[in-house]
Amino acid sequence: MGRIHPEIFFFGAGVAEGRASMRNLLGGKGANLSEMASLKLPVPPGFTISTEVCNYFYDHGHKYPKGLADGVAKSVARVEKALGRKFGDAQNPLLVSVRSGARVSMPGMMDTVLNLGLTDETVQGLEKVSGNPRFAWDSYRRFCQMFGDVVLGLKPEDKNAADPFEEIIDHKKITRGVKQDTDLNVDDLQELVSEFRALIRSRVGCDIPQDPNEQLWMAIGAVFGSWNNDRAIAYRRINNIPGDWGTAVTVQSMVFGNLGDDCATGVAFTRDPGTGEKGIYGEFLPNAQGEDVVAGIRTGRYISIKASRVWAERSGISEAERASNFSTLEESFPAVYKEFLKISNQLERHFRDCQDMEFTIERNRLFMLQTRTGKRTAEAAVRIAVDMADEKLIDRKTALRRVEPEQLEQFLHPRLDPGAKKNVIARGLPASPGAVNGEVVFSADEAVAVAASGRKVILVRVETSPEDIHGMNVAEGILTARGGMTSHAAVVARGMGKCCVAGCSALEIDYGAGTMSANGAVIRRGEYITLDGSAGEVIAGRVATVDPEMPPFFKKFLSWADKERRLGVRANADTPHDARVARDFGAEGIGLCRTEHMFFEPERIEAVREMIMAENAKQRGKALAKILPMQRGDFAGILKEMAGLPVTIRLLDPPLHEFLPREEDEIRDLAIKIGTTPEHLKQVRESLFEFNPMLGHRGSRLGISYPEIYKAQARAILEAACELRKQNVKAMPEIMLPLIGERKEFEILASEIREVAAEVFKEQGVKVAYTIGTMIEVPRACVTADQIGAVAEFFSFGTNDLTQMTYGISRDDSGKFLDDYVRREIYKKDPFQELDPNGVGELMRIGIERGRKANKSLKIGICGEHGGDPASVKLCHRLGLDYVSCSPYRIPVARLAAAQAAIEATQTKKEFKDV
């Protein structure tokens, strides 16, 4: 049969004028219905009016293209013919649903009308055909309610008012003395219909049309109109969906799963969306409507016997009881079950992905209402991808693209026991994932003391500073009241792979009283709390957690990723422990080993402070000599863990004032120890004060001002490497100078380090290979990369600082406006979370181009927080970096993102993209 109208696509009853690939024109729903029809699957017949009509509608003052009315009439006639029912017929009426459908799913944003075609007359026909007056009048009641709301716009009078229809129903239940909607009888429902219509007449000034065609056209207009309602516009703005995509309208014949015991409705996945296990997984309700399943009003039953038995066993239900009270689709509708199984397999093979299907059984006849890609957990996503590749349903590249890199991190951290109860007292930012519980402590020293006695602690601070590192180190998790996703606490916690909830602004902390309170709950020092760092939740008491597992398919999946990726993946790690963890997760070296954390260890900080208070290079050298052996030990430990792999060690970066004590008593203690007065110490502190420490006396500027510091660090690194060399361990240190902005700065420091190296090699009698390179973190380094690149052996983009300086935004202070900027889409993304491709990325591009031009063998990486963000990793691939470096726990994420980037780069044609 030929097409009825160019913008109308018929499906069902042996016809399929559309295809899955026509989602732009038909919307996701319409396209997949056509696709199912083309597979000869039992789809209730209907037709889709294309998105182009939507655009026409808006371009022409809410008018329709020529011939559309006629086309719709003819299409309805074709549906009537296929089903042997007639629209508006008093004996055997055809009812339809009218639904919206955009090319991407916009759940709940636009409108739907069901049971359209019901009138005072046709409801009688439905009564007869179904033999169920209550069903017929309930359907009419629902239709009136939906039509009144969606099409006639009868909404609550203000935001706080109840739904006017529900108010009438509630009133009816009270007068009838019943509790459930289902307790209302046919008379009640008939009265409700009258009362609904009276309300509509009084509020809207018109009645529900008694002509089904009028109903249909009003509903079509309402659906097109809903494309530009406030909710839909807001949703599109947030999700970056262009307004000119438009929505399609699908008009489909209604089928009913609630006409009797030979009817049912259900939803099912082709594989378990929780575990990824192969096999049908879903539930159904006999004699029910689709809404009932979705709304969860009645408890669904399993589709397969197997799943049902697992559930029964876990719930302590006998097989006999199960079989009689909870019989499955397989048991209740064996023939339909077989057919459904076949269809389900067919759909999965056809779409080559796990499907999420809706179906209805009307009088033992199966109808497929929808199929779409099934949403799934991280575990299921990886397992399904691996299994399908092994089953040759998809190739490995496709498998790798099927998993969101972010999801992989869920494998690596403990989670809250899904079955446990929790009393959430406050929410903050999900700064570092995982779930932990412990006793509340309010200072780093307290954390160390309590942890030393073998108890688990959660460190709670208004905000953390480098002084708190030793406490963070021993704590299970960290909770702060201030600071964003890139605050000190968040960054350090992610680096340590420790759970952290940051910026929990509801929290009030009273250090003096030793209490924290939020939303009325007060927690005292020593009491237990639980943190969910993935959800940002602060929970009172001790909630059980479950340990992470790394199933074999996870490793297999990552090994496939490694074969595809070009980018190297290294870790940011400051301790031997972190280095070991990172290597286990697949790190190919360390891209950033920060040395300042080592300075904060309690036994060292004193010498560090002595160094800062030194009045000349000699005194400074003396203090540094105390730290040298300890640093040498640190470096030896890390280099050994990473034997055979490069380890980039950054020399001291933060401004010196960060190392000085702040509290009065600490100042007094230190003054006594180093033989000076507290006043002098405070003077030194003041003299080191900076208005903008981010742009102050830090990084290589310290190395220029106090050459002793960098020389001592270089010595510690190279002595450690020589020691290992003597033990036949291959250490590969890469010495990195922070905050270089000018070639001469680099040259001076590099030549001092080379002098130290020559001395050390002479003293030790062995030589080790080492390189000297620089962070690229000030914009000037990017534009003068040709000059710096000519003398440096490697670059590592420090994109945290580079982002701060490129935007002129201090991340510590950005809380006041950055959220607003992201919410209002002034910035597409928070640039501290995802590398800004246009600004920061462009400076990187310039830096890479110029650096490589000056030095063909220049090795270039990235060691900012962005190194673990999938979109940023992909940008790094496109920019041609050699490697990314990230927190140990982000390494699997980076490995996958790097693989996806490589695959995407070779993909020449656009693929059909599942949503």
Q: Would you please indicate which residues are annotated as catalytic (active-site) residues?
A: 488, 863
Of the residues 171, 825, 853, 907, which one makes contact with a copy of itself according to CB under 8 A: 825
Q: Between residues 427 and 697, which has the closer beta carbon with respect to a copy of itself?
A: 697
Q: Does 745 bind a copy of itself (CB under 8 A)?
A: yes
The angle at the Cα of 595, spanning 879 to 813, to the nearest 5 degrees, equals 65
Sheet holding 355-362, edge to edge: 301-302, 278-286, 264-271, 355-362, 365-373
Counting contacts by CB under 8 A, is residue 784 touching a copy of itself? yes
Q: Per DSSP, which regions of 753-910 are E strands? A: 771-776, 794-797, 859-862, 883-886
Binding flag, residue 360, a copy of itself (CB under 8 A): no
If one counts every other C-beta atom within 10 angstroms of the C-beta of residue 160, the result is 6
Minimum distance between the CB of residue 843 and a copy of itself, rounded to whole angstroms?
A: 6
Which residues, 6 or more positions from 906, have their beta carbon under 8 angstroms from its beta carbon? none
742 near a copy of itself (CB under 8 A): yes
Exposed/middle/buried for residue 187 (C-beta within 10 Å: 0-12, 13-18, 19+): exposed
Q: Is 695 in the site for a copy of itself (CB under 8 A)?
A: yes
Query: Using the rule CB under 8 A, is 701 a contact of a copy of itself?
Result: yes
Q: Which of 67, 633, 637, 693 binds a copy of itself (CB under 8 A)?
A: 693
Site for a copy of itself contains 830 (CB under 8 A): no
Calpha distance 108→220 (Å, rounded): 17
The helix or strand, by DSSP H or E, that contains position 522, with its residue range, turns out to be strand 521-524
Minimum distance, C-beta of residue 515 to a copy of itself, in the bound complex (Å): 20
Least Å from the CB of residue 806 to a copy of itself: 5
Tracing tokens 């299907």 back to the chain, one arrives at 357
Q: Which of 73, 625, 783, 822 binds a copy of itself (CB under 8 A)?
A: 783
Q: Taking CB under 8 A as the rule, does residue 741 contact a copy of itself?
A: yes
Instruction: Single out the residue of 601, 609, 607, 636 nearest to residue 623, CA to CA.
Output: 607
- Is 705 a binding residue for a copy of itself by CB under 8 A? The answer is yes
Structure tokens at 508: 């009030």
Q: Is the dihedral of CA 375, 376, 377, 379 positive or negative?
A: negative
State in angstroms the smallest separation of the CB of 693 from a copy of itself.
7
Query: Considering Cα of 650, then 884, then 863, then 547, what sign does the dihedral take?
Result: negative
Report the distance separating Cα 101 and Cα 79, nearest Å.
20
Binding residue for a copy of itself (CB under 8 A) from 127, 801, 869, 882?
801
690 interacts with a copy of itself by CB under 8 A: yes
Interface segment toward a copy of itself; rule CB under 8 A; list 254-262, 312-320, 715-723, 737-745: 737-745
Minimum CB–partner distance for residue 837 and a copy of itself (Å): 10
Q: Which stretch binds a copy of itself (CB under 8 A): 77-85, 117-125, 633-641, 820-828?
A: 820-828
Answer yes or no whether residue 239 interacts with a copy of itself by CB under 8 A. Answer: no
Element (H or E) spanning 52, and its range? helix 51-59
205 binds a copy of itself (CB under 8 A): no
Q: Is 194 exposed, middle or buried (0-12, 13-18, 19+ CB in 10 A)?
A: exposed
- Residue 694: CB minimum distance to a copy of itself, A: 4
CA 660, CA 807: separation in Å to the nearest integer?
30
Nearest CB to a copy of itself, comparing residues 410 and 465 = 465
Query: By CB under 8 A, is residue 744 in contact with a copy of itself?
Result: yes
* Contact call for residue 697 and a copy of itself (CB under 8 A): yes
Q: Please choose, out of 180-188, 519-527, 692-700, 893-901, the segment that lies near a copy of itself by the rule CB under 8 A.
A: 692-700
What gap in Å lies between CA 773 and CA 480, rounded to an integer?
A: 35
Could you tell me the smallest distance in angstroms from the CB atom of residue 862 to a copy of itself? 17
Contact region with a copy of itself (CB under 8 A), list: 41-49, 91-99, 310-318, 698-706: 698-706
Provide the 8-state DSSP code for 149: I
Task: Select 532 or 801, whichever has its Cβ closest to a copy of itself.
Answer: 801
816 lies in the site for a copy of itself, by CB under 8 A = yes
Which residue stretch of 133-141, 147-155, 257-265, 841-849 sits at the interface with a copy of itself (rule: CB under 8 A)?
841-849
Q: Half-sphere exposure of 752 toward its Cβ, with a 13 Å CA cutoff?
A: 20
Name which position in 252, 713, 804, 855 contacts a copy of itself (CB under 8 A): 804
> What is the number of other CB atoms lying within 10 angstroms of the CB of residue 52?
15
Query: For residues 150 and 773, what is the distance between their CA atoms, to the nearest angstrom?
Result: 64
Whether 707 and 746 have beta carbons less than 8 Å apart is answered as no
CB of 695 to a copy of itself, least distance (A): 4
Q: Does 839 contact a copy of itself by CB under 8 A?
A: yes
- Out of 202, 299, 453, 838, the only residue in the binding site for a copy of itself (CB under 8 A) is 838
Residue 170 as a binder of a copy of itself (CB under 8 A): the answer is: no
Q: Is 571 helix (H, G, I), strand (E, B) or coil?
A: strand
What is the SS3 string spanning 740-752?
Answer: CCCHHHHHHHHHH
End-to-end, the C-alpha distance of the chain in Å comes to 32
Cα–Cα distance, 88 to 79 (Å, whole number)? 13
Q: Rounded CA gap, 534 and 817, in Å?
A: 24
> What three-state secondary structure class fits 48?
strand
Instruction: Using alpha carbons, select from 424, 408, 425 the residue that is nearest to residue 416.
Output: 424
Which of these ranges, 307-315, 565-573, 695-703, 907-915, lies near a copy of itself under the rule CB under 8 A? 695-703
Burial of 107 (0-12, 13-18, 19+ CB in 10 A): exposed
Among the residue ranges 103-111, 422-430, 741-749, 899-907, the one whose residues contact a copy of itself (CB under 8 A): 741-749
| From 190-198, 284-292, 331-339, 819-827, span contacting a copy of itself (CB under 8 A) | 819-827
Task: Report the residue from 817, 823, 905, 907 that binds a copy of itself according to the rule CB under 8 A.
Answer: 817
Question: Which window, 230-238, 343-351, 581-589, 804-812, contacts a copy of itself (CB under 8 A)?
Answer: 804-812
457 in helix, strand or coil?
A: strand
Q: Is 787 in the site for a copy of itself (CB under 8 A)?
A: yes
The verdict on 790 binding a copy of itself (CB under 8 A) reads no
For a copy of itself, the binding residue among 453, 808, 856, 912 (CB under 8 A) is 808
Please name the helix (run of DSSP H) or strand (run of DSSP E) that holds residue 8, with its range, or none. strand 8-12
Element spanning 281, H or E: strand 278-286
| C-alpha span between 897 and 915 (Å, rounded) | 19
Which lies closer to a copy of itself via its Cβ, residue 768 or residue 805?
805
Residue 256 DSSP code? -
Which member of 198, 234, 294, 826 binds a copy of itself (CB under 8 A)?
Answer: 826
CB of 253 to a copy of itself, least distance (A): 46
- For residue 879, state whether it binds a copy of itself (rule: CB under 8 A): no
Question: Smallest gap, in angstroms, from Cβ of residue 295 to a copy of itself?
Answer: 40
Q: Are strands 499-502 and 515-518 parallel, antiparallel or unpaired?
A: unpaired
In the bound complex, what is the minimum distance in angstroms from residue 74's beta carbon to a copy of itself? 47
**806 interacts with a copy of itself by CB under 8 A:** yes
Residue 460 forms beta bridges with which residues? 479
Give dist(CA 719, CA 761) in Å, integer.
Answer: 8
Residue 466 in the binding site for a copy of itself (CB under 8 A): no
739 binds a copy of itself (CB under 8 A): yes
- Residues within the interface to a copy of itself (CB under 8 A): 690-697, 701, 704-705, 739, 741-742, 744-745, 748, 777-780, 783-784, 787, 801, 804-810, 812-813, 816-817, 820-821, 824-827, 836, 838-840, 842-843, 846
